[in-house]
């Protein structure tokens, strides 16, 4: 897992704020291997963000729980349990997953071309915009909703199909790598008009930079186009940038830039700033350490 | 711990369903040993079933938490914490436990003569039917209810007495093994008319099969008689069967059959089908892996 | 972490009770060290007391969740997740912490001069009385409330400053050790009239006993003076005593005595009795084991 902590600045139409930001992620990977070489396993996470809110019931003025003056309130991050569990069976390049599945669109090459700043700064650079099944580090994902997926890779080819009862989603992608460039196309069928219908990405290296271009038709959530790049600017430092355009009412162009500096031992200093589609500005800086 | 996942089919009077079934169990055993050789310890589990439902409070139409239009809803399995903890002190054949105790009736030889299919398929083959204190893998059990138990074994004899504030239960069993056959009798005093009053089991091997006969007087929950057997049908495969009769309104004879096939490395393929007392039919198949 | 279990007797104006008491604490310390030697880390705990109460929503007479006859109830200890996480960066004698911070007053030498009995028996011997930020083993502490602290120690000197959004607290202490005696003074600024304003402690050894004298001005929560000592009464046994005076309506003098007997292997037998400020009497005895 990893930990990260630092400062997050948020400037919205309602005002601005500067707060401590933190995340703790403890990852539990448990596996067994049959005599035939099939690996069976489960992945769970205990992840707590400083901004998580557990709910509690306030007893109200009468100080008695279970009476009419009780009311619900947010009660801070403590009390975090494990997320929805993902189970899998894997052999060779073939893997079947159930539960809190990764999701085909979420796993598609080019959807997360960069990892901006310390916190992601809103992830406006993810073309499909989360409008599909995705592994949830703190919630259910498709666990409890009959999430199932099949993944296959052979050489330069990778294929991923996933389905769940959430909006009756069925999604898939095919990706192929050719001369160092990876091309991927994905599609989804769903009951939700705001779910992604089609998405395509292309990514590779120009020598001085890794560049990704991505497009998604996210139904009533609008089309999104993203151009993102990563530049090495020293032995231990890189800079990431993106510019993205989002269709729809009140939306506009977004852009961002960050740096990541490796301190060794699994520790890195990270920071970035982004102008979001909705007009907000967000900046962060801090430390991430892997354990 | 272990993980398991597969398919569960359920046919009830209200209709039938086929769903992914899964369980993740992470067991935490923590112990210390005093200079005199007494082992002190605690056991906790983080266990999540796909069918678990955490509760959450929906903010309602006004999108404000703590107001009159809030309502509770089930929110899927994510958020699992540890169960009630069991503490113990053990020396030689003598053990004292407190908290989420095992419970005398639950621990009595012959109450779980088989482990049907992937999921237990309703556990109708457990004579005492859970009408007593039992270790809860996902809940409190007798933790927080002054659960206490004393266990003693010496050679072929084992004795177990447990008590808790739940229905003011006091329960116990005595078991003795004679020429490979184990006989056990148990009883319980309780404030609940539906709690088990008396139960007896006998189990042993006929060479080709391990067989158990069990009876329980479960008060207003009716008498139950169970006959169960396990047959080895190959080097790595066994078949389990049961037939059981349950007294009471609307209840009838139940029966079931399963197979377990060892895939090596702590992995097994399991499946079964059962006709339940209440008229439901249930079938499952899947993989279980220990870690 | 550790486990402990035993018996707790409580005699209050409303009557007396004798119950099983238990605690399970699993501590998770995760760290990484940069090439420059700075240690980054996170601490989380999964801690469950027998007396913890998770809340649940009862479906009420209609057996349907989300309807007007639902009501909240306490549902026992099971379901414990991690507490608020503390993050830190440490190098040499210098440490910065964020999240569920230790808190300057809580960490000040002399605030916990003894550890009475198995359970603390009410901790009336803690001069500042918890009227400041403190690490919470089961809750948020200052996690989610912008908790930040800086700690520095060099030789005989230690300094600790902490702050959080809880009552806008800023607190600090300075401690110095001279000829085996430690003197500490602490202060706090806060929006809450019941928060500690000033506290001072002195502690050291008289040869046969370790003795601490502590004073705190806890604003509207009244002044508190504590005198506490620890006596070794054998190779593996010590006895602790305290007498304390608390100002304010209905409060009086409190006192207590305990013993701790080391059983080896990280196991100890502990018990004590205390007369509390509020007139209650409390006694406990049991076993604690480290793992």
Residue-wise pLDDT tens digits, C209-221: 999 999 999 999 9
Same domain for C93 and C75: no
> Quick check: C70 and B72 CB within 8 A?
yes
Nearest to B24 by CA among C172, A88, C75: A88
Q: What is the ipTM of this complex?
A: 0.94
Cβ contact B144:C51 at 8 Å:
yes
How many domains are there within chain B? 2
Question: Are the beta carbons of C52 and B144 separated by less than 8 Å?
Answer: yes
Residue of chain A nearest B3, judged by CA positions: A42
What is the reported pLDDT for A250?
73
Please give, rounded to a whole number of angstroms, the shortest distance from the CA of B3 to a CA of chain C.
Answer: 19
Q: What is the CATH number of the domain that holds A177?
A: 2.40.160.10
Burial status of residue B286 (CB atoms within 10 A of its CB: 0-12, 13-18, 19 or more): buried
Contact B84 C24 (CB under 8 A): no
Query: Is the same domain home to C23 and C71?
Result: no
Domain annotation covers residue A271: yes
Cβ of C57 within 8 Å of Cβ of B36? The answer is no
Contact B76 A147 (CB under 8 A): no
* Residue tagged 């597969």 (tokens): B6
B70 and B187: one domain?
Answer: no
3-state secondary structure of A206: coil
The whole-number pLDDT of residue A13 equals 92
In degrees to the nearest 10, what's the CA dihedral of C268, C272, C277, C280?
A: 120
d(CA B89, CA B103): 16
Q: Do the Cβ atoms of C77 and B146 come within 8 Å? A: no
Domain of residue C122 covers 2-49+83-290
- C265/B35 CB distance under 8 A: yes
| Residue A105 included in any domain | yes
**C153, C142: one domain:** yes
> Does residue B120 share a domain with residue B40?
yes
- Is there a contact between A70 and C71 if contact means CB atoms under 8 Å apart? yes
Distance CA B131, CA B227 (A): 19
Same domain membership, residue C183 and residue C149: yes
Per-residue model confidence (pLDDT) at position C188: 98
Same domain, C75 and C204: no
Structure tokens at A227: 């151009």
Residue A77 resides in a domain: no
Check whether residue C123 and residue C230 sit in a common domain. Answer: yes
> Using the beta-carbon criterion (under 8 Å), do A98 and B26 form an inter-chain contact?
no
Burial of residue A46, with CB atoms counted within 10 A of its CB: 0-12 exposed, 13-18 middle, 19 or more buried = buried
Find the closest chain C residue to A51 by CA distance.
C144
The residue out of C82, C104, C125 marking a domain boundary is C82
CB contact under 8 A, C40 and A3: yes
Where b means 16+ CB within 10 Å and e means fewer, C63-84 reads eebeeeebbbeebbbbbbbbbb
Answer whether C84 sits within 8 Å of A77, measured CB to CB: yes
Q: CA torsion sign, C137 to B26 to A132 to B76?
A: negative
Contact assignment for A65 to C73 by CB distance below 8 Å? yes
> Interface partners of C (3+ CB pairs, < 8 Å)?
A, B
Interface of B with C (CB under 8 A): 28, 30-36, 38, 40-42, 44, 55, 57-58, 71-74, 79-85, 87, 89, 98-100, 136, 138-141, 143-148
Contacts 24+ apart (CB under 8 A), C220-227: C220/C193, C220/C194, C221/C129, C221/C131, C221/C194, C221/C195, C221/C196, C221/C248, C222/C246, C222/C247, C222/C248, C222/C251, C223/C247, C224/C127, C224/C128, C224/C129, C225/C127, C226/C113, C226/C124, C226/C125, C226/C126, C226/C127
Residue length of chain A? 291
* Chain B closest-CA separation from residue C91 CA (Å): 32
Give pLDDT, residue B30: 98
**B143–C290: do the CB atoms touch at under 8 Å?**
no
- Identify the residue among A41, A52, A55 best suited for mutation to test binding to B, counting B beta carbons within 10 A and taking the highest: A55
Residue A66 lies in a domain: no
Residue partners of B79: CB distance under 8 A and separation at least 6: A80, A81, A82, A83, B54, C81
Task: Report chain C residues whose CB lies below 8 A from the CB of B82.
Answer: 24, 46, 48, 78-81
Identify the bridge partners of residue A217 per DSSP, sorted by sequence position. A198, A223
Chain B interface, best mutation among C4, C5, C266, by max B CB count within 10 A: C5
Q: Which residues of C touch A (CB under 8 A)?
A: 28, 30-36, 38, 40-42, 44, 55, 57-58, 71-74, 79-85, 87, 89, 98-100, 136, 138-141, 143-148
User: Going residue by residue through chain B (291 aa), what tens digit of pLDDT does each one get?
Assistant: 999 999 999 999 999 999 999 999 999 999 999 999 999 999 999 999 999 999 999 999 999 999 999 999 999 999 999 999 999 999 999 999 999 999 999 999 999 999 999 999 999 999 999 999 999 999 999 999 999 999 999 999 999 999 999 999 999 999 999 999 999 999 999 999 999 999 999 999 988 899 999 999 999 999 999 999 999 999 999 999 999 999 987 778 999 999 999 999 999 999 999 999 999 999 999 999 999
| List of chain B residues whose C-beta atoms are within 8 Å of the C-beta of residue A84 | 48, 76-78
Asked if A76 lies within 8 A of C38 by C-beta distance, the reply is: no
| Sole residue written with tokens 């900046």 | A283
Task: Say yes or no: C285 and C165 in one domain.
Answer: yes
C28-47 per-position pLDDT tens digit: 999 999 999 999 999 999 99
Which of C64, C82, C100 finishes a domain? C82
C83 in Cβ contact with C100 (< 8 Å): yes
Chain A interface disruption, residue of B56, B65, B77, B288, most A CBs within 10 A: B77
Measured between CB atoms, which of B36, B55, B82 is closest to C263? B36
Handedness of CA C9, C138, A70, A84 (dihedral sign): negative
Residue pLDDT tens, chain A, 291 long: 999 999 999 999 999 999 999 999 999 999 999 999 999 999 999 999 999 999 999 999 999 999 999 999 999 999 999 999 999 999 999 999 999 999 999 999 999 999 999 999 999 999 999 999 999 999 999 999 999 999 999 999 999 999 999 999 999 999 999 999 999 999 999 999 999 999 999 999 988 899 999 999 999 999 999 999 999 999 999 999 999 999 987 778 999 999 999 999 999 999 999 999 999 999 999 999 999
Whether C100 has a pLDDT exceeding 90, the answer reads yes
- Interface test with chain C among B45, B48, B54, B55, by most C beta carbons within 10 Å: B55
My answer on whether B121 and B223 are in the same domain is: yes
Q: Cα angle vertex C243, ends C241, C248, to 5°?
A: 150
Please give the pLDDT value at position A249: 74
What's the pLDDT at A47? Answer: 98
Helices and strands, counts by H and E, chain A: 1, 18
Residues of A within 8 A of C31 (CB-CB) are 289, 291
- Domain final position from B61, B82, B103: B82
Q: Please indicate, yes or no, whether residues B14 and B57 belong to a single structural domain of this protein.
A: no
Partner residue facing B98 (CB), from C20, C78, C291? C20
In this structure, are C164 and C286 located in the same domain?
A: yes
The reported pLDDT for the residue numbered B248 is 84
* B68–chain A nearest CA distance, Å: 8
């Amino acid at each position: 897992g990893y930990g990260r902590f630092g400062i997050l600045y948020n400037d919205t139409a309602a005002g601005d704020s500067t707060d401590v930001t933190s995340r703790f992620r403890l990852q539990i990977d448990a596996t067994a291997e049959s005599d035939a070489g099939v690996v069976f396993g489960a992945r769970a996470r205990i992840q707590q963000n400083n901004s998580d809110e557990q709910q509690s019931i306030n007893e109200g003025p009468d100080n008695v729980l279970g009476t009419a003056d009780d009311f619900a309130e947010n009660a801070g991050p403590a009390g975090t349990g494990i997320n929805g569990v993902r189970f899998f069976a894997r052999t060779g390049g073939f893997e079947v997953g159930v539960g809190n599945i990764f999701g085909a669109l979420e796993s598609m090459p080019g959807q997360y071309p960069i990892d901006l700043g310390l916190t992601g700064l809103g992830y406006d650079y993810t073309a499909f915009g989360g409008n599909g099944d995705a592994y949830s580090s703190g919630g259910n994902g498709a666990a409890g909703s009959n999430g199932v997926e099949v993944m296959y890779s052979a050489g330069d080819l990778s294929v991923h199909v996933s389905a769940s009862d959430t909006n009756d989603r069925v999604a898939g992608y095919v990706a192929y790598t050719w001369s160092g460039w990876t091309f991927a196309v994905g599609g989804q069928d769903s009951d939700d008009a705001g779910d992604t219908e089609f998405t395509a990405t292309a990514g590779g290296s120009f020598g001085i930079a890794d560049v990704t271009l991505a497009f998604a038709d996210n139904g009533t959530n609008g089309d999104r186009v993203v151009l993102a790049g990563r530049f090495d600017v020293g032995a231990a430092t890189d800079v990431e940038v993106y510019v993205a355009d989002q269709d729809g009412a009140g939306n506009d162009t977004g852009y961002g830039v960050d740096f990541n500096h490796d301190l060794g031992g699994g520790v890195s200093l990270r920071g970035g700033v982004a102008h979001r589609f909705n007009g907000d500005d967000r900046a962060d800086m801090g430390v991430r350490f892997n354990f």
